[in-house]
Amino acid sequence: MRAPTLDLTLLRTLVAIADTGSVTAAAKRLAYTQSTVSMQLQRLETHLALSLHERDGRRLRFTPDGERLITHARRLLALNDEAWGDMQAQQVTGDLTLGIPEDYASLLPSVFAYFHQLYPAVGLKVICGTSAHLVEQVKAAELDLALVTRQRNSPGGDVIRREPLVWAVGVNQQPLLSDPIPLALYSPGADVFREVAEQALQGAGRNWRVAYTSQSMAGLAPIVIAGLAVVVVTRSMLTPSLRPLDESSGLPALPMIELALHRAPHRPSEPARRLGELIREQLAAPSEAV
C-alpha cells in the first residue's frame, strides 16, 4: 500500500495563516485570493480527516491537531527549501540589478528572502527611483529588471498586477474635504498617481491645491497623518496610520493602476529570468479589500 503524502503547497498555506494570524493576511503574503487560502485549508483538513481550526467569532483559532501539524509543516518546508536551494545553488550564479520605486519595496521582502535562499550565489543589487527614471535605466541596460507603475507615455513591460487607487487620510485626523481640497502629491514626473488624481478631480468639477510634494510616500505620509492633506495610494500602500475614503467622502472614484515588470533589451541572464518568474508568481494576484 502506498503511503499517503502531504501536499507541501497546502502546508505552506497553513504556516502562512499561523504566521500572519488570519486568512486575509495569509492571502496577501502568498499572493492568493482569500477564497483560495480558505479552500486549501479545507482540502488539507479533508485529506487528513481532521479539524485543524475553529472559529471564535471572527477570529480563527487552531485546534490541538492543527498546532501539532504546524510544527511538522515548518520542519517539512524547511527541509524542502534547503534541498531545493542546495540543488539550485550550484546552477545559478552571477550578478543582478533590480530597480523598484521605494513605495513598492514593501511588496518584495518575502521575494528577496526566498530568492536568496534558493540562489545564494547570486549577487542581488536593488536600486530605488521613480518609475519613469527606472524604465529609462532598463532601456539603457543599466538595470536587468525594474518593477514599476506602468507609465502612460511609456507603456511597455509585462503587466503582472493591477491595483485600485484610493484616496487616503490620517487614521485619526483628516482635512476638510471642501474645495479647494488639500492634496499631498508626488513630485511632477515621479509617477502617474499625480496625473490620475488631478484628472479625476477636474472631471468631477472639484478644485484642489497642492499642500505638499515628495518623490515617495515616506515624504508624503507625515502631512497626511497630521490631517493636513489627502493622498492617493494603492491599497497595498495603506498603513495602520492611513485609512481609505469611500464614496461618501464626495471625492471621485479613481482607476486601477498597473504594475509592470520591465526587462533590459539584451537576453536576460539566468538570475534575471528566475527573479522575474518569482516576482510574477508572488505578485500576480491583485490586492483585495480586507
Task: Choose among 107, 125, 106: nearest CA to 116.
Answer: 125
Q: How much is the pLDDT for 287?
A: 41
Same domain, 200 and 132: no
Range of the domain at 107: 94-161+258-284
Q: Write down the pLDDT at residue 288.
A: 40
- pLDDT at residue number 99: 96
Identify whether the C-beta of residue 242 lies closer than 8 Å to the C-beta of residue 224: yes
| Tally of domains in the chain | 3
**CA-CA-CA-CA torsion sign (9, 15, 17, 19):** negative
The answer to whether residue 233 sits within a structural domain is yes
| 57, 90, 123 - which closes a domain | 90
1 belongs to a structural domain = no
- Asked if 168 and 107 sit in the same domain, the reply is no
Q: 99 forms bridges with which residues in the sheet?
A: 127, 146
167 within 8 A of 249, measured Cβ to Cβ: yes
Residues 156 and 220 in one domain: no
Going from the C-alpha of 249 to that of each of 140, 168, 169, 177, 178, the distances in angstroms are 44, 10, 11, 7, 10
Domain annotation covers residue 59: yes
CATH number at 72 reads: 1.10.10.10
User: Low-confidence residues of the chain, pLDDT below 70?
Assistant: 1, 88-90, 153-155, 190, 285-290
In this structure, the answer to whether residues 120 and 54 fall within a common structural domain is no
| 3 state SS of 264 | coil
Predicted confidence at residue 289, as pLDDT, reads 35
Which residues are paired to 210 by β-bridges? Answer: 183
Statement to judge: residues 21 and 40 lie in one domain: yes
Residue 155 — φ and ψ, nearest 5°? -60, -75
CB atoms within 10 A of CB 263: 18
Residue 57 inside a domain? The answer is yes
170 and 235, same domain (yes or no): yes
